[in-house]
Amino acid sequence: MQYACAEYAARLAAHDILPSMSRVGNPYDNAKAERFMRTLKEEEADGRAYRDIDDARNRIGEFIDAVYNKQRLHSAIDYQSPDEYEAGLMRLRREAPAAISETENCY
């Protein structure tokens, strides 16, 4: 099914989903989403037979939660998992001194 066909657009609208497409000839507009979808297909969905839509949702959700976010290392974040990277950011934010401090009689 093509992104711009009427049937596809109607299905999106029926579920209150807004379509998102790259500009013609510019694959970089949506590069991160495209790369994620490639990983999802290669590491989880390709060749797998799901029992039904609920099984697909559960197994893909498990892949994202247990593998992609917790175990899979990402080159864009210095070969850490997303969970490790986010935990490091939170730690830095807690440990960072305040950028502005109050002083009395500052003229």
User: How is the chain split into domains, by residue range?
Assistant: 1-47, 50-97
CB atoms under 10 Å from CB of 18, counted, come to: 6
Dihedral sign for Cα 64, 56, 4, 16, please: negative
Q: Are the C-beta atoms of residues 60 and 40 closer than 8 Å to each other? A: yes
From CA 49, how far away is CA 47, in angstroms rounded?
7
Task: State residue 101's pLDDT score.
Answer: 61
**50 or 107: which leads in pLDDT:** 50
From CA 5, how far away is CA 27, in angstroms rounded?
20
Task: State residue 105's pLDDT score.
Answer: 65
Q: Are the C-beta atoms of residues 91 and 99 closer than 8 Å to each other? A: no
The tens digit of pLDDT for each residue in 31-88 reads 888 889 999 999 999 989 999 999 999 999 999 999 999 999 999 899 999 999 999 9
Task: State residue 6's pLDDT score.
Answer: 87
CA nearest 17: which of 9, 6, 27, 26? 9
Confidence label for 19 from pLDDT (cuts 50, 70 and 90): confident
Tokens linked to 92: 């830095």
Indicate if the pLDDT at residue 2 is higher than 60.
no
